[in-house]
């Protein structure tokens, strides 16, 4: 007689393995490296035209991919915007994003390759402030909110609805160390990650906190739900992280030139459910690289639930579609540090947000726990 925890007939072989194998340990063929283009000094003039010749190594590369490599200070998204706006020409003709190069073409870029600098503006957006004093604040960021503005087509699109916009409205003063676009921001969380984030109100506090982060004197602990059963109770992943050269929205552990990254995974609970096996983990990170926990979880063969960018399925078979997550099951739950100005020990915690708690209850409804 089938176990009550067994998947319905026809779904018993359904796991996340096919989705994960599509990304684990397999990086698309890395294109040949191309020399970086260095422009002569020109005045910052919106009408300036910069001209250069495509290197022979650009042969068979798409124009947007080549430009993103040859001009590393420009994102691929920004390159595509320039092309769509008609500001890029190849051999005198308007360029197309998917245009293939042969090498040797004359390429013209009209106007500045970088968008005009943004200045963050205040917005009346509610904030969950867990701690505030004259020097700093600790905010409980919801999933879906960007920390600061990113690239986009217009200033309105790039500079609305971020944590920075909300901070400027709620606080009279923030540090200037991060510049006009990132006032007060000492560290970041991914858009689809919720939880605790530190904000500095003055430059002295900002620099001291930055030094504490670099010296690993701030303890950041996350809670995550992973697909599959993680075998060991405690696992340390120490794999360098770098940007994927082809899928530039992703990071990878497969490049030798990555930056050092260390994540400590501790199993809290293993679940066997009607929707598959899962493991609840606590993750302490020593470094703060982009997508660090998500990439390291993928490297273990256990992607974060909801993280389709790194191999998690878009939907969990059998689960009510209304309960499928529109975010990653990753939450910055605990922050511990010594106050840089007062010397007072600071220890703050944030419970799982309601959408993660509801999801967890749903999959636990017909499950067994493995210690």
Positions annotated as catalytic residues are 190
Phi, psi of 18, rounded to the nearest 5 degrees: -60, -40
Across 123-150, b (16+ Cβ under 10 Å) vs e yields bebebeeebeeebbbbbbbbbebbbbbe
E strands within the chain? 49-53, 88-90, 93-94, 106-110, 129-132, 136-141, 194-200, 219-227, 234-238, 242-243, 251-252, 262-273, 276-285, 330-338, 345-349, 367-370
C-alpha–C-alpha distance, residues 39 and 185, integer Å = 32
CA distances from 20 to 57, 128, 227 (A): 32, 35, 10
C-alpha–C-alpha distance, residues 88 and 94, integer Å = 6
Which residues share a beta bridge with 13?
Answer: none
C-alpha–C-alpha distance, residues 242 and 252, integer Å = 5
Per DSSP, the three-state class of 301 is: coil
Alpha carbon 288 to its chain centroid, in Å, reads 11
234-238 and 219-227 strand pairing: unpaired
Alpha carbon 353 to its chain centroid, in Å, reads 19
194-200 and 330-338 strand pairing: parallel
C-alpha–C-alpha distance, residues 295 and 309, integer Å = 10
- The closest of 302, 247, 367, 292 to 19, measured between CA atoms, is 302
């Amino acid at each position: 007689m089938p176990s009550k925890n067994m998947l319905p007939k026809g779904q018993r072989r359904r796991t996340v393995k096919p989705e994960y194998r599509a990304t684990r340990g397999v990086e698309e063929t890395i294109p040949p490296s191309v020399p970086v283009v260095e422009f002569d000094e020109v005045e910052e003039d919106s009408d300036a035209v910069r001209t250069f010749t495509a290197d022979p190594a650009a042969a068979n590369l798409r124009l947007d991919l080549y430009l993103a490599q040859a001009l590393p200070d420009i994102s691929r998204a920004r390159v595509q915007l320039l092309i769509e706006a008609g500001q890029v020409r190849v051999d005198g003709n308007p360029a197309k994003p998917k245009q293939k190069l042969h090498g040797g073409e004359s390429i013209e870029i009209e106007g500045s390759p970088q968008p005009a600098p943004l200045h963050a503006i205040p917005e009346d957006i509610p904030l969950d402030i867990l701690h505030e004093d004259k020097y700093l604040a600790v905010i409980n960021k919801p999933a879906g909110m960007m920390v600061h503005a990113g690239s986009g087509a217009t200033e309105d699109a790039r500079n609305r609805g971020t944590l920075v916009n909300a901070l400027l409205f709620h606080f009279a003063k923030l540090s200037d160390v991060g510049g006009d676009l990132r006032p007060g921001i000492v560290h970041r969380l991914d858009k689809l990650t919720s939880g605790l984030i530190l904000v500095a109100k003055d430059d002295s506090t900002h620099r001291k906190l930055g030094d504490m982060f670099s010296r690993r004197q701030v303890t950041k602990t996350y809670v995550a739900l992973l697909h599959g059963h993680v075998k060991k109770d405690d696992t340390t992943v120490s794999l360098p992280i770098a940007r994927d050269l082809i899928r530039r929205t992703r990071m990878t552990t497969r490049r030798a030139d990555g930056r050092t990254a260390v994540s400590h995974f501790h199993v809290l609970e293993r679940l066997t459910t009607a929707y598959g096996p899962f493991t609840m983990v606590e993750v302490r990170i020593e470094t703060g690289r982009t997508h660090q926990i998500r990439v390291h979880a993928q490297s273990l063969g256990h992607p974060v639930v909801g993280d389709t960018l790194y191999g998690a399925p878009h939907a969990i078979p059998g689960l009510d579609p209304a309960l499928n997550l529109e975010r990653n099951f990753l939450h910055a739950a605990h922050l511990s540090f010594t106050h840089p100005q007062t010397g007072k020990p600071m220890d703050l915690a944030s419970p799982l947000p309601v959408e993660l708690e509801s999801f967890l209850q749903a999959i636990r409804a017909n499950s067994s726990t493995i210690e």
